[in-house]
Structure 1
Amino acid sequence: MSTVQQPHSTAEALLADGTTVEIRPLGPDDHRAVLGLHTAGMSEESRRMRFFGVSRNAPEQAADRLCGPPRSGLLGFGAWAGEELVGEADCEVLDEPSETAELALVVADRWHGRGAATLLLEHLVHAARQRGIRFFEADTLFGNRAVHRVFADLGLPVERRCAQGEVRIRVPLDERDERYRSAVDERGRRAGVASLAGLLRPASVAVVGVSRRSGSVGRTVLGRIRRGGFAGEVWAVNPRAGEIDGRPAFPSVRALPAVPDLVVLAVPAGAVPGVAEECGAVGVRALVVLTSGLDAHQARGLMRACRRHSMRVVGPNSLGTAQTDPAVRLDAEFGGAFPRPGSAGIAVQSGGVGIALLQRLAWLGIGVSSFVSLGDKYDVSGNDLLQWWEADDRTDLALLHLESFGSPRAFGRTARRVTRTIPVLTVDAGRSTAGRRGAASHTAAAATPTVTREALFRQAGITATRSIDELVEAAALLHAQPLPAPRGAVAVVSNAGGIGILAADACADAGLLLPELPVGLADLLPPGASVRNPVDTTAAVTPVELTHLLRALEREPGIDAILVCLVPTALGVTPDRDPVYALLEGPARRRIPIAAVLLDQQVPVCYRTCADGGVLPVYSDSVAAARALGHARDRARWLAEPASAEADPPDCDRRTAGSLVDRYLAVHPEGGWLDPLSTADLLEAYGLPLTTSVWARDEHAAVAAARGLRRLGHEGRAALKAYWPGQVHKSALGAVRTGLATDAEVRSVYREFARRFGPELAGVVVQPMAAPGIELLAGIVQDQVFGPLVVLGMGGTAADVLADRAARLAPLSERDLTTMVAELCCAALLSGTGGAPPADLAAVRSVLARLSRLAEDFPEVVEADLNPVVVRPDGAVGVDARVRLERRPSFDPYLRRLRRPAVAEGE
């Protein structure tokens, strides 16, 4: 039995140098390893620092304490590199109950300076917080600089008291502290980048599975690496060939003259685990697995080898990778032509999408910094590549195609940081509308895959497109032009009125504004021109006139972008007649972005070179150009949003709520919907406003309750709601009656419920009638992959019909609380229209903040649905609520760990 008294699964994570270690609880079987860590793993000076003196019994006593009989207040974790225990961290509550635990930390001497201590502490902090521990305390010697540096770098505030050469350290464990999360992020980024060096900047490469047969995958990749000008050594591995293409081939990785940094595997699926183990044993740093069709056993063997030997792996089922850095020039893929060098980083799950992207970028003229086909994505993910591109000095544009997410919240946090400096674009793959479950709440029905993914992308500042073509069209503008102002006011200019009108419609569809233009612009154009927006220059416009117009529009303070649409005319294509020359003779990058549409262009989008050597994006269709400008406007808006702290509502009683959740799941281990009273108690613990409710089990109790509540109700009326376990949507089933003014009406309704619902009727909920107001829906849904989603929308019986909703992934920021309300189509109603007073928006924001915190604190709350929430000028109150609980493990998305693909773990 493990000494650790609370669940904590084994996790793999990266040290600062990219080494993979396994973090797991210590138990009785680890006694020898713990004793060895405190003896052979430590010098005499290290033991003196750890135990405040030299004691022969101290290591044995430490091992006995950590690996002996269970101790209720003890948590202990070890970090293992292969079979070696490289460090341990433990804490113990000495006087229970207490919120403070004594901390101890040891790292083997030869592993100092590689981040093992902070990694162990991060996992211990998480486990301790789950146990209700809020402070660590530790004694250390004044001269123990290594320990003091660990605490200084941790990111949490540290209190120190010095006395007689010793230092008493006290650390408050606030995992929500943004300084702590940022410190964890930075350690994770450095470790991730270090671990990818062998993959993306290898000094040597071997291809295993190189066939004699021309056209085979392995031989094709080997040839491309050699022809591409790879700067390092390249070796072929084939156990049955002495040479291939006139160069030596080796029978195994062990037989190579040196250890390659990167190995590309093009072997049958059954051979993958064995080759991976051989690579790891000799010290290979990274694998690219081109092989597809691995079964669960083979997948587990591959991942065990990679984790045990600190190898990162791309694939399986990968198209390969490419790195255009002149110092590397690695073309280890079997797609199209080797991409031209440039600054666009590309990561795709689908090899076909990767080939299409590379082709379109090549046609456009955008070069690539690095290309990675992630394949089945057992290990290296889009999150890893974002961190790499953030750190390299070549990438200024990131393009992603991701069909799945291992840890969406970790990905979103990384993306929010990266998109502040470079545009990140994605093809939103896998959009679909989820069928509504019969027992789902309105909130769950709203939480479709599309809504959830859109929330992730919006909060992370990612430009999400719906096709490869749209991705490339948006990339063309973002790569070559400045961003417009967040307002997105566009001037449309055309030499044909009908085309200009179509372009103006496309801009409006993209959410762009078309402001009125100064009438004085007409003086710059030929007779008959119109300067209403869109501007019709007529076909008689000359390049000089168009140039003057564009310069004038660029100076207009109310214009944020220009869209120029030109059609070929019969006036002759000469420098003095063709208006395209006006675009190309000017600078490519102006104060505001400019995009052109040439209707006779054969390709969807291309670059035209301007006089200053820069490029101008030119589209064949005004819809594509307007859509690209819309994406640029959205990015400008996101960048303009001020940094916002996580919403932190006061007076949330986590202890009371936790007791309620634990009691319910102890009785209902399969989960289920809370009864009305338990629902009210749970939501009240988090300060969520609910109308007064009284539970009545029979007719007489219902009458008595209604008599008392009618005094509180609007116009002296009450409402009755029938209830039975597992109930679905009360209104649709006729289980709600409102406006009851007399005892007789209450009796009549109760008897009607009894006749209609029979023995399944458990009772009724009696409430005072709420005063009229705007009815909203507010709720949360726990997605198994994405985590908690908070939904706000129009409520009442129109919730599913109108589908006016905004959604964000928790935790919500203070900014999210405002933008969610502003995004609703009914926002104008909330702000007050036709002389009506505005609704209490602060009360709405409070509801959202409290739902977000409830969802973060309790993943067991898989659905919570407040519908309607009646919002009035004097506040907001929930009239009806439903909550569903299920057993869910606690998951900290910010805890550093490598992802575990389900197929590779046999889950």
Structure 2
Amino acid sequence: MTTSDAVTSTPPPRHWEADVLLRDGKTAHIRPIRPEDAGLLVEFYARVSEESKYYRFFSPMPHLSDRDVKRFTQVDYVTRVALVLTSGDNMIAVGRYDLVEEGKAEVAFLVEDGHQGRGIGQLLLEHLAQAGRERGIERFIAEVLPDNHAMIHTFKDAGYRVASQYDEGVMELEFSIDPTDTAIGVMAQREHRAESASIERFFRPRSVAVIGASRRQDTIGQALVRHLVTGDFTGRVYAVNPSADAVSGMPSYKTVGEIPGEVDVAIVAVPAEAVQDVVLDCAAKGVHGLVVISSGFAETGEEGRVRQRRLVGLSRSYGLRLIGPNALGVINTDPEVSLNASLSSVMPPRGRAGFFCQSGALGSAILEKVNNRGLGISTFVSAGNRADVSGNDLLQYWLEDDATEVVLLYLESIGNPRKFSRITRRVSRKKPIIAVRSGRSTQGVPMGHAVRKIAAPSQAVDAMFRQSGVIQVDTLEEMFDVAQLLAHQPLPRGRRVAVVGNSDALGLLAADAATSVGLVVNKQVALGADAGAEDFEDALDAAIDDPEVDAVAAIYIPPLNTSGEDVANVLAAVGEQSDKPIVSTFLGAEGVPELLRVPDVAGSSAGRGSVPSYPAVEAAVRALARVVEYAVWLRTPDKGAADEELVDRQAARRVVNELLMHHPEGHDLTMPEQRELLAAYGIELWETRAVTTRKQALDAGKELGWDVVLKATAPHLRHRPDLAHVWRNIDGPADMSDAWRSLNELITEPETAGFVVQKNAPPGVPVGISSMEDPLFGPVLSFGIGGPLTELLGDRSFRIPPLAEHDAQDMVREIKASPILFGYRGSEIVDVTEIERLVRRVAQIQNDLPQVRALDLPLVLAGANGAAVLGSAIRIEPVIDPRSDWFVRRLSTPPGDTLPD
């Protein structure tokens, strides 16, 4: 172990500091150690047991000497790195690595005994490994006593391939810290369990304290107490009001600390300036989480943003999770809990949908709408300013929640798109997610949401939703339309629809609407205006039994003086037994009418098999089309690219790292450097010679063996269809001289044209493949046919790496100009397989190398027997925050936030 007394020389990167979530759902803070931590380290060490000290140092070491304290707290953050974990004002763990040879470092941890078993060792290992990767370290070694089983499991359970050997009674472990798929998968599972556990405590508290409870009617505090009591909450309710002895007939306490029993969740409804004192009171009491109803935070301006940052930092530093501020509250309709810890007077019926809403103002209206439609929900959160708990946390909880079968999201901003994409890809495979995203065109966010602007175009965000299987809809009404179908009916197996009804006019409208949204109407049954229940039953049974039908749209408009109850009974009975989805326009009703509901043994207001109704046939088939698209996505294998083993990632990383060592501010790669980087991913860049004189052009043509082109590469010329900037079929000195003279006469300011000489490529269709690294969004990939028309019309497809096997195929086919690649009007069909390979390769580069700020293959000529990459541009830059949430667990921190000291 290196034991030099090197003092701090290089400040640690800012992103090494973060709030983290422990295994039990409590928060803590991780950061680099500092020289001024000497006192904290001594106090921490004094609380550690003798056994833990022995396991760490292999000998009795009851106290740290001044020399030890100095050595442990003064590091250079390069060859010697130490991270500490704090909770409140205490240090509870420390981990470190020390370089032992180039590319290899020794790692060790010490965790306070009272906090062992909370997953702290794994967290420290993740963060130290990420720090090591950024400092060029490739392997960790650790010396562990054989009976220190907990530490041995920490290393072996991390997902790395660990080799071990014994030497003089000590077990030496060694492993590469390259973030393998296995290691990332292990991290994601731990993240899922911790975040799910933190949310479960909000939904299933044994006791709730209302801080700011009031005796006065028409106050927020009074409403919160009333809704908890009248909602039949099965736990204990405590009222906290320093000025009252009783609230709503129950005793009131001056502070949370005075409450005799434990408190799981505190609902806070006090003035914004008093919330900080409440946090300290709740932390001392051991409260798990806060639901802050109080307003006066980031939604009010800069002063409120500062107050909100302090609130989040203080809450997390003491281990508390926070919903809000400016929140509507939390609801759980499970009769075993029956929690209405919200401002909504409506306790919605039990149902299958979990709902996350960022808007407190819309929350009450949404719950009213859910109630009127008979949809029902399992759990509901209105997070207000979303300062801490976000939709990502709720998705982690709902993934394993048996009571939730459909997830509904109303999003006003996405604080961490990378994480959202990663989680939704997993959740959508198990449960459908329906999302409404406001600000979709402008990418604007409400004032209270402190998030960084996404540089990627809005089409890329839409692509991320599709790629993740999220059903993105335009309005709340459409969200409920789709939700009531998914909550009550089975998924369709295909796009084929039968329309059965007693109105010819509405039947034609349904058929037209279905065709317009990509459904295929291959069975249309007109029963006539006087059709009765028996007629409907026969027609519906025949449609469902038809192997050429995947879903049924039933239309019933009753004749005069007819209730339609008999037809409703038929629809409900058929819907309950059918393995194909049924949508209806029944009496023009909206939602799941009482007559069409099937009893649910789980206690929901409408069970599986209930038939949803829509007031308009267009809404019915539009909802069905959304569900069909999800069913198609669900059946598509989520496999990675099949040829990844042909990629030399190590060579690519070496190229990028060596270039950044010489160009720490960033670098535009030269042509030879681009060729080397692209070659590591199996992309052959055609040789290009930059020329500025006729003689250089002649020499380049001769060296390349003639049959060359001379072209201008300046952007202002490449994208001008009215200018000829390429001279082809140059096969000798005379041709080159003519080409040079003609292009120089044609082009204004030819000295800025960026002339190059290149071998003549076979004819083909020009396509462009580009990627970029968005600081917030991460890697983004785009594809389109080359030329200015593509840019003018925005005809490009987008995806978010990593790509599944089918993603490249979809990218090539979904652009409007794709027929050009497939023999449009008798033209030659190009080698689409090679285009897809290049798309996958560019995606891999961007996914593997966050240092690649932008990569552009602006001209790829795709022919019948391959594709020639004729041009490229690559920009690399040092990474400030290397997608650290992909390789380590951390809670998001909005821009400008100041983490606690």
- Determine the structure 2 residue equivalent to 1:862: 853
Task: Provide the residue aligned with 2:648 in structure 1.
Answer: 651
- Counterpart for residue 485 of structure 2: 477
Return closer, same or farther for 1:661/1:95 CA change in 2, 3 Å cut-off. Answer: closer
- Give the distance between the partners of 2:57 and 2:597, measured in 1 at CA: 72
Which letter does structure 1 place at the counterpart of 2:636? E
SS in 1 for 2:257: coil
| More divergent stretch after superposition (832-841 vs 147-156) | 832-841
After TM superposition, give the deviation of residue 620 of structure 1 in Å: 1.5
In structure 1, what is the equivalent of residue 762 of structure 2?
771
Residues 357-376 of structure 1: matches in 2 within 5 Å? 357-376=366-385
Secondary structure class of the residue paired with 2:710? strand
Question: Within 1, Cα distance between the matches of 2:717 and 2:262?
Answer: 63
- TM-fit CA distance, 1:195: 2.4
Partner of 2:603: none
Q: CA contact under 8 A between 2:8 and 2:74: conserved in structure 1?
A: no
1:736 paired to 2:725: yes
| Deviating more after overlay: 142-151 vs 69-78 | 69-78
Would you say the 8 A contact 2:46–2:63 is kept in 1? no
Tell me the alpha carbon deviations over residues 740-796 of structure 1, each in whole angstroms, 9 at most, x when there is no partner.
63223332245337x72377x274223334322222221113233221111122222
- Offset of residue 650 of structure 1: 0.6
Does the 8 Å contact 1:706/1:746 carry over to 2?
A: no
Compared CA separation, residues 496 and 245, structure 1 to 2 (3 A): closer
Alignment partner, residue 690 of structure 1: 685
Is 1:235 the counterpart of 2:235? The answer is no
TM superposition shift of 1:397: 1.8
Q: Which amino acid aligns with 1:30?
A: D
- Name the CA distance, whole Å, in 2 between partners of 1:765 and 1:792: 25
Using the alignment, how far apart are the partners of 1:333 and 1:369 within structure 2?
15
Task: Please name the residue that 1:629 is paired with.
Answer: 624
Q: Provide closer, same or farther for how the CA distance between residues 685 and 377 of structure 1 changes in structure 2, counting only shifts above 3 A.
A: same
Structure 1 residue corresponding to 2:571, chosen from 567, 583, 591: 583
Contact (CA 8 Å) 1:296, 1:906: kept in 2 or not?
no
Maintained 8 Å contact 1:75/1:92: yes
Residue 611 of structure 1, CA deviation:
7.3
Following superposition, the deviation at residue 371 of structure 1 comes to 1.1
- Name the SS of the counterpart of 1:254 in structure 2: helix
Query: Aligned residue for 2:271?
Result: 268
Cα deviation 1:259-312 (Å, max 9, x = unaligned) = 532222222222222322332233222111112232133113212220121111
Q: Is the 8 A contact 1:205 1:261 kept in 2?
A: yes
Match of 1:320 among 316, 321, 329: 329
In the TM superposition, residue 484 of structure 1 has moved relative to its aligned partner by: 0.6
Q: Distance in 1 between matches of 2:153 and 2:875?
A: 46
- Answering whether residue 20 of structure 2 is matched by residue 9 of structure 1, we say no
Does 1:746 pair with 2:739? yes
Q: Judging changes above 3 Å, is the alpha-carbon distance between structure 1 residues 392 and 656 closer, same or farther for their aligned structure 2 residues?
A: closer
Q: Which residue of 2 aligns with 1:523?
A: none
| Count of matched residue positions in the alignment of Structure 1 and Structure 2 | 862
Q: Deviations over 1:223-249 (max 9, x none)?
A: 212222222332333333344445443
Q: Which residue of 1 aligns with 2:898?
A: 905
Partner residue of 1:853?
844
CA contact (8 A) 2:710 2:728 kept: yes
Quick check: 2:373–2:591 contact (8 Å CA) kept in 1? no
Residue 711 of structure 2 corresponds to 720
1:466-524 superposed Cα distances (whole Å, 9 cap, x missing partner): 10010000011101111011x32112223333322221121122212233xxxxxxxxx
1:112-166 C-alpha deviation (Å, 9 max, x unpaired) = 2111101101111212222232222222222221112212321222222235533
Once the two structures are TM-superposed, the CA of residue 709 in structure 1 deviates from its matched residue by 4.6
SS of equivalent residue, structure 1 residue 92: strand
AA at the equivalent of 1:202: P
What are the within-5 Å matches in structure 2 for residues 885-904 of structure 1?
A: 885=876, 888-889=879-880, 890-894=882-886, 895-902=888-895, 904=897
TM-aligned CA distance change 1:745 to 1:901, over 3 Å: same
Which amino acid is 1:783 matched to? D
Q: Structure 2 vs 1, CA of residues 23 and 823 (structure 1 numbering), >3 Å: closer, same or farther?
A: same
- Tell me if structure 1 keeps the 8 A contact 2:26–2:321: no
Contact 1:433 1:448 in 2 (8 A): no
Find the aligned partners of 1:585 and 1:18 in 2 and give their Cα distance.
45
1:3–1:66 CA contact under 8 A, matched in 2: no
The residue type equivalent to 1:702 in the other structure is A
Aligned to 2:554, the other structure's residue is in SS state: strand
Greater shift after overlay, 166-175 or 231-240? 231-240
Which runs of 5 or more residues in structure 2 are unaligned?
Answer: 1-6, 298-303, 445-452, 601-608
Deviates further, 105-114 or 821-830 = 821-830
> Would the alpha carbon gap of residues 470 and 454 (structure 1) be closer, same or farther in structure 2, given more than 3 Å must change?
same
| DSSP 3-state at the match of 2:885 | coil
- The one-letter amino acid of 1:455's match is A
Task: Judge conservation of contact 2:766–2:860 (CA < 8 Å) in 1.
Answer: yes
Which residue of the other structure, out of 32, 36, 42, is the alignment partner of 1:29?
36
Identity %: 32
Change (3 A) 1:729 1:259: farther
Q: How does 1:317-396 map to 2 (within 5 A)?
A: 317-396=326-405
User: Which segments of 5 or more consecutive residues in structure 1 lack a partner in the other structure?
Assistant: 436-443, 516-532
Q: Secondary structure at the match of 2:221?
A: helix
Q: Distance in 2 between matches of 1:399 and 1:445?
A: 23
Asked whether the equivalents of residues 299 and 904 of structure 1 are also in contact (C-alpha less than 8 Å), the reply is no
Counterpart residue number, 2:866? 875
Aligned partner of 2:150: which letter? A
Deviations 1:418-467 (A, max 9, x none): 222222211122211689xxxxxxxx999522x12222222222111110
> Does residue 127 of structure 1 match 2:141?
no
Which segment drifts farther, 641-650 or 111-120?
Answer: 641-650
Residues 8, 77 of structure 2: 8 Å contact kept: no
Q: 2:315 matched to 1:306?
A: yes
- C-alpha distance in 2 between matches for 1:831 and 1:844: 12
Q: Is the 8 A contact 1:723 1:765 kept in 2?
A: no
Q: Describe the SS at the equivalent of 1:377.
A: coil
Supply the distance in 1 between the matched residues of 2:597 and 2:639 (Cα, whole angstroms): 40
Q: 1:530 maps to what in 2?
A: none
Corresponding position of 1:400: 409
Deviates more, 1:671-680 or 1:846-855: 671-680
Aligned 8 A contact 1:588 1:610 in 2:
no
Corresponding residue of 2:143? 139
| CA spacing shift, 1:906–1:123, aligned 2, 3 Å | closer
Trace 1:66-85 onto structure 2 (pairs within 5 A): 66-68=72-74, 70=76, 72-85=78-91
CA distance in 2, matches of 1:537, 1:879: 63
Q: What code does the residue aligned with 2:542 have?
A: A
Residue 642 of structure 1 aligns to a residue whose secondary structure is: coil
Contact 1:12 1:21 in 2 (8 A): yes
When the two chains are superposed, the root-mean-square deviation of aligned CA atoms in Å is 3.2
Farther off after superposition, 3-12 or 19-28: 3-12
- Do 2:268 and 2:291's aligned partners in 1 also have CA atoms closer than 8 Å? yes
Partner of 1:529: none
Equivalent-residue separation in structure 2 for 1:774 and 1:720 (angstroms):
17
Select 1:490's aligned residue among 471, 484, 497: 497
For residue 94 of structure 1, give the secondary structure of its aligned residue in structure 2.
Answer: strand
- Counterparts of 1:373 and 1:635, CA distance in 2: 26
1:548 aligns with 2:538: yes
CA distance in 1: counterparts of 2:441 and 2:854, whole angstroms: 21
Q: Which has the higher mean CA deviation after the structures are superposed, 234-243 or 495-504?
A: 234-243
What is the CA-CA distance between 1:815 and the residue it aligns to? Answer: 3.4
Q: Post-superposition shift, 1:897? A: 0.7
> Paired residue for 1:705?
700
In the alignment, the residues of structure 2 paired with residue 646 and residue 135 of structure 1 have an alpha-carbon distance, to the nearest angstrom, of 27
Compare 53-62 and 859-868 and name the one that shifted more.
53-62
TM score, norm. by length of structure 2: 0.88
Q: Secondary structure at the match of 2:520?
A: coil
Q: Is the 8 A contact 1:560 1:592 kept in 2?
A: yes
1:4/1:76 contact within 8 Å kept: no
Contact 1:77 1:124 in 2 (8 A): yes
| Per-residue deviation, 1:174 | 2.8
Q: Match for residue 503 of structure 1? A: 510
Which among 433, 453, 477 is matched to residue 461 of structure 2?
453
Structure 1 letter corresponding to 2:571: L
